[in-house]
Amino acid sequence: MKQPVFTGAGVAIITPMNPDGSVNYTEFGRIVDDQIANGTDAIVVCGTTGESATLTHEEHVDCIRFVVKHVAGRVPVIAGTGSNDTQFAVQISKQAEEAGADALLLVTPYYNKTSQAGLIAHYTAVAKAVSLPCILYNVPSRTGVNIAPQTLAELAKLPNINAVKEASGNISQVAEIAALCGDSLNIYSGNDDQIVPLLALGAKGVISVLSNVAPQYTHDLCARWFEGKTEESLAMQLKALPLCHALFADVNPIPVKWAMNRLGWQAGPLRLPLVEPSAAVQQRLETELEAFGLLKK
């Protein structure tokens, strides 16, 4: 059995920006502290929600170093180091390991994509270049390639291929992964509206966008499940659905960054090509944040 990197809710944390678009490290530290104070079980830095696609290489590594130093061992830090260039993924994964990250999150190669054999070769190269646990990230809606369950079963033979973040939305596929891989691969939900269904299939938790705005709630939703309070966990999942859907009413992280600004955090602007949400999406977010009790009337 492979020990999970964390159990519960890991936040796919935003990267706050200054008005000029540079990284706001002061606010970054405040957000990290608030997350940990409110039960977040892990910090996932420089993922999709952290706008990793528009961070420079130097900013990417600096953000990882900053979060590792600021967290100071309080919870695991998982660094997003995936790329569609295997050599670059190896390079930045080594830098994340040197920076003190506890694990890596590795998205499937995007745009150029690859075959299932190519996925095995790509992930094997990265995993063998580092000693850290690796969480593979399957999000075909963004990357255009799906990691087949049989491919995951093959990759799970590598000792430091620890888990998959499953964001395909395909519950049947997740069930097949669980059946094929068993204890050789941990599973995390990559979709906030499917936390409980994946926990029911043996998942160890979620890597969550919702946790940015509701860290304690998302932690508690998972904790209730593991305490055996499955009906409470399900009720929390269902209550959160409208907010989860509002947070994906536009391309992630457009809605969640707007929501963080609305809640009083200095999340700052988005980097192009991402732009502010439409008035309709803003109103939807306003409505759901208020209904969830995060905004006072």
Q: Report, as residue numbers or ranges, the catalytic residues.
A: 137, 165
Strand, coil or helix: 286 = helix
180: Cβ contacts below 8 Å, ≥ 6 apart: 149, 150, 152, 153
246: Cβ contacts below 8 Å, ≥ 6 apart: 255, 281, 284, 285, 287, 288, 289
Tell me the CA distances in angstroms from 106 to 81, 93, 203, one per residue in order.
6, 9, 18
Instruction: List the structure tokens of 194.
Output: 């499917």
- Beta-bridge mates of residue 161: 134
- Judge whether 145 and 119 are in contact, CB under 8 Å: yes
- Judge whether 133 and 5 are in contact, CB under 8 Å: yes
- 5 closest CA partner among 158, 143, 136: 136
Q: How far apart are CA 25 and CA 18, in angstroms?
A: 9
